[in-house]
Structure 1
Amino acid sequence: MSLRVEQSLSQLLHEALVSLRTLGKRSMLALLGIVIGSSSVVALINIGHNASVDAALIFKDMGTDTLVVQFPPKGSANVPMRTHLDLDAVRQAVPGIAHIGALSLFSGPIVFHGRSVNANFVGSTPDVAAAMRLTLQHGRFLSGFDVNETYAVIGADVAQALSAPGDPLRLGDRVRINDYLFLVVGLLQPQPRAMLMPVQPGESLFLPAEGMRRIYAAPQINNLIIRAAVGQDMEHLARAAADALRAQLTEHDVDIQVPQQMIDGMTRQSRTFAYLLLALGAISLIGGGVGVMNVMLMNVSERRREIGIRMALGARQRDIRNLFLLEAVTLTAVGALCGAVLGMTAAWLYAWLSGWVFDLAAAALPLGVGSTLLVGLFFGIYPAVSASRLQPVEALRDE
């Protein structure tokens, strides 16, 4: 019984391929429409996925356990921010804080052996390194004992810019800022850019917060970096930290950025973008399905006499229906496979031109090929049913 079924399916598939081959250019045009539709679905799903992955990389190195605090003035008054905050009091009031550091920002030229480069000057408290996940290549970071010292920790980009062949900037060298010489006690490793951080470590020179007065007459705290302990509710922690900081401030408010909220919002936006791209691909795929139905209807019209002969020789309605339905599915399956290859190639090329790292979306191939086959099945049903309902006598009268 199973052998008979396999022979029947093999015979139907052979007849379907022969019939599609005889259609010539018409089947090729329908196949082209299916290929374009299928490739559009596969490519657009992958492009949307890669756009989402690339956007998520912005937050990767910052970490979802990090908060960035800003201090906008209350009202319209432009009041300078304080130069000192009691960070220990904040840590005691909010036990979920693992590390907290303050940043005072300024910028200007650094000179080393006659070479000059502009950089960010970051007055920092000792806990900044842990809060910002700074990694040292050589030396150490600033400690609480360095408040009155002219010590500096230099980012990798700044160190490279100040170096020259045969004369690199090393640990223990001194760099000049205005009229002061600062001893280099640490060199940072190169780190990826973290878009939410108020300063990029590689482009910065870190000084003791109290030492900022040597290069800037009125330093003020611009930001706090808070890193939470493991397993904390970041929104709850942000509210508690804001309350603790407001208790020390009178003329400034507290604005805390919660990365997880931004990630969730970006995820929703990326999902909407992916749905839009998928809808565009589906429209293209439906257009290909209409082409398949048109070809199959013309095929039925031209083979009315053949259908009549088959029925006269004993073919049942379901045999005729299955024959034409298999032709439609076969045409669609070939288009789906070709479209999958073309779509993956297009998505990879788009990612390469955009500077993204290509990442294959898990749903791209199953959804692209599966939706194409369903479209072919849907648009092939009507021609197949129409062929199966022809009356043998009427079909045999056709010349």
Structure 2
Amino acid sequence: MHKLRSLLTVLGLVFGVASVIVMLAVAEGASRQAQAQIEALGVSNVILRSKEPSSSESEINFRSFEQDFGLTYDDLRRIEETIDSATSVTPLREFRQEARYADQTVDARIVGVYPSYFEASKIEIVLGRPIEPADLKQRANVCVVGEDIARNVFRGKSPLGKSIQVDNTHFFRIIGVQGYKTPSAGIGSSMSASDLNSDIVIPLTTDRSRIGDVITRRQQGSFSRQRLELSQITVGVVDRHQVKTTAAALEGLLAKYHPREDYAITIPLDLLEQAQATQRIFNFVLGATAAISLLVGGIGIMNIMLANVSERTREIGIRRSLGAKQRDIIFQFVIETASLSLFGTLIGVIVGLAAPSLVSYLSGMETMVTPWSVAIASLVSLSVGIVFGIYPARQAARMDPIEALRRM
């Protein structure tokens, strides 16, 4: 009889269920995205990164004005010879440099690698071929470019066979193009944000023989020189259960030769476990926050049902005088409450399933609805609605039939 009032009554549950589903979908999407970036590093890997020491520990050769720090080829040799649990050891060196083709100029990241780099980093070659062992052995002037460089510099034309100039000095023939990879945020204490789509990847031997270990940067009339042999060494481990022991062995090995701690060790497995623990806490906090609206919805149902009891005193008195027991009255009002709760829950689920797609469209955030979030929100909503309807039902059942009939 009171359709609008019934609809307004269940709105609290509608928004409560929808908010639980949407908030957990946003949390799940953000967590999955962070975990995907970590898993891309390889949960069976240990990543060693060069890092610039603090100013108090920095050593500068004032004769050549060179700052010397970071991982070295000697470190690479020691790791290959002493770490038995390592299945692969993949070094690379990276630095930013200006690249030019015809009248097009881009700020690119030059990356010297071993052929195993593409598999270790899960990089797909969509055009041409990757760097091969023969390129490494011959110190070939070849490169693989990222998708952004291929698109922005060559404007839809095939870059294969073209030569790109680095630092106005060195020319590299393009032999392949990398597939697009989503830029990653900084992960861990040593992993900086990176965009692989602006990379120019060359053989590591070519990098050392053509460009050298010293990187010179000129800016606004000043210049700096840094001697950096290797930027990163990725150590693949046989079994993920041996990752932490391997990391401890690497820490002990490097500590002997790097007293200034100009390196950092990142264990993706640790980061993944931390991300999963953070997700559980985040889900609990968001779920508890959204559940408050379900509580408010339950209070709204109880309020309306108490009003219904007052309005239907005559009906209750007549039923009781004709032989209805207390349990019949309780059953009548609980069924009504359960119907309202079910109606509000169904609408809330529909809204909750549709809203994450809208959030993703408007904000660009990744969202992911999980079945357990829908199940929990629905069960809590139904439970809250029924529990808050029991009190009004008991109040109606306890009503004295004679007193109820006097109010007719």
TM range (shorter): 0.7 to 0.9
Measure the CA separation in 2 of the matches of 1:358 and 1:310.
Answer: 52
> Among 140, 150, 160, which residue is 1:159 paired with?
150
Counterpart contact for 1:99–1:130, Cα < 8 Å: no
Measure the CA separation in 2 of the matches of 1:386 and 1:295.
Answer: 13
Query: Could you tell me which residue of structure 1 aligns to residue 78 of structure 2?
Result: 89
Paired letter, 2:6: S
Q: With structure 2 as the length reference, what TM-score do the two structures score?
A: 0.82
Instruction: Name the one with the larger strand percent.
Output: 2
Measure the CA separation in 2 of the matches of 1:276 and 1:317.
Answer: 41
The more displaced of 129-138 and 376-385 is 129-138
Which stretches in structure 2 are left out of the alignment for 5+ residues? Answer: 60-67, 217-225
**For residues 269-348 of structure 1, what are the structure 2 equivalents within 5 Å?**
269-348=278-357
Q: Does the alignment pair 1:110 with 2:108?
A: no
Query: Could you tell me which residue of structure 1 aligns to residue 251 of structure 2?
Result: 242
SS in 1 for 2:371: coil
> Among 125, 133, 138, which residue is 2:128 paired with?
138
Counterpart contact for 1:50–1:359, Cα < 8 Å: yes
Measure the CA separation in 2 of the matches of 1:232 and 1:88.
Answer: 24
Counterpart contact for 2:14–2:345, Cα < 8 Å: yes
Q: With structure 1 as the length reference, what TM-score do the two structures score?
A: 0.84
Measure the CA separation in 1 of the matches of 2:275 and 2:150.
Answer: 35
Q: What's the CA shift for 1:56?
A: 2.1
Q: Taking structure 1 as reference, are residues 146 and 370 closer, same or farther at Cα in structure 2, changes over 3 Å only?
A: closer
Query: Could you tell me which residue of structure 2 aligns to residue 12 of structure 1?
Result: none
Q: What's the CA shift for 1:164?
A: 4.0
Q: What's the CA shift for 1:319?
A: 0.5
Cα RMSD after superposing both structures: 2.7
Which of structures 1 and 2 has the bigger CA Rg? Answer: 1
The more displaced of 273-282 and 316-325 is 273-282
Query: Could you tell me which residue of structure 2 aligns to residue 10 of structure 1?
Result: none
Measure the CA separation in 2 of the matches of 1:131 and 1:28.
Answer: 56
Measure the CA separation in 2 of the matches of 1:350 and 1:152.
Answer: 44
Q: What's the CA shift for 1:232?
A: 4.4
Measure the CA separation in 2 of the matches of 1:29 and 1:128.
Answer: 60
Q: Deviations over 1:266-290 (max 9, x none)?
A: 2222222222221222111111111
Q: What's the CA shift for 1:254?
A: 3.6
The more displaced of 311-320 and 75-84 is 75-84
Query: Could you tell me which residue of structure 1 aligns to residue 19 of structure 2?
Result: 40
> Among 359, 367, 370, which residue is 1:361 paired with?
370
**For residues 177-192 of structure 1, what are the structure 2 equivalents within 5 Å?**
177-178=166-167, 180-184=169-173, 186-192=175-181
Q: Taking structure 1 as reference, are residues 183 and 36 closer, same or farther at Cα in structure 2, changes over 3 Å only?
A: closer
Counterpart contact for 1:109–1:119, Cα < 8 Å: yes
Paired letter, 1:33: G
SS in 2 for 1:363: helix
After superposing on structure 2, the runs of 4+ consecutive aligned residues of structure 1 that deviate more than 6 Å are: none
Measure the CA separation in 2 of the matches of 1:86 and 1:69.
Answer: 10
Paired letter, 1:50: G
Paired letter, 1:68: I
SS in 1 for 2:181: coil
> Among 17, 23, 31, which residue is 1:52 paired with?
31
Measure the CA separation in 1 of the matches of 2:164 and 2:236.
Answer: 31
Q: What's the CA shift for 1:253?
A: 4.4
Q: Taking structure 1 as reference, are residues 228 and 353 closer, same or farther at Cα in structure 2, changes over 3 Å only?
A: farther
Measure the CA separation in 1 of the matches of 2:327 and 2:339.
Answer: 17
Measure the CA separation in 1 of the matches of 2:312 and 2:156.
Answer: 81
Paired letter, 1:210: R
Counterpart contact for 1:174–1:182, Cα < 8 Å: yes
Q: What's the CA shift for 1:228?
A: 2.5
Q: Taking structure 1 as reference, are residues 326 and 29 closer, same or farther at Cα in structure 2, changes over 3 Å only?
A: same
Query: Could you tell me which residue of structure 2 aligns to residue 210 of structure 1?
Result: 208
Q: Deviations over 1:359-390 (max 9, x none)?
A: 32111221121111101111011111111111
Q: Taking structure 1 as reference, are residues 258 and 231 closer, same or farther at Cα in structure 2, changes over 3 Å only?
A: closer
Counterpart contact for 2:27–2:367, Cα < 8 Å: no
Q: What's the CA shift for 1:32?
A: 2.1
Which stretches in structure 1 are left out of the alignment for 5+ residues? Answer: 1-20
Counterpart contact for 2:165–2:172, Cα < 8 Å: no
Q: Deviations over 1:67-109 (max 9, x none)?
A: 3212343782213126532423212311222222333332222
Counterpart contact for 2:48–2:232, Cα < 8 Å: yes
**For residues 196-207 of structure 1, what are the structure 2 equivalents within 5 Å?**
196=187, 200-207=195-202
Counterpart contact for 2:92–2:232, Cα < 8 Å: yes
Measure the CA separation in 1 of the matches of 2:196 and 2:87.
Answer: 20
Query: Could you tell me which residue of structure 2 aligns to residue 78 of structure 1?
Result: 58
Measure the CA separation in 1 of the matches of 2:145 and 2:135.
Answer: 21
Q: Deviations over 1:185-233 (max 9, x none)?
A: 6324214134446554432223334132298365412222223234442
Q: Does the alignment pair 1:257 with 2:246?
A: no
Q: Taking structure 1 as reference, are residues 88 and 387 closer, same or farther at Cα in structure 2, changes over 3 Å only?
A: same
Measure the CA separation in 2 of the matches of 1:290 and 1:243.
Answer: 61
Counterpart contact for 1:110–1:177, Cα < 8 Å: yes
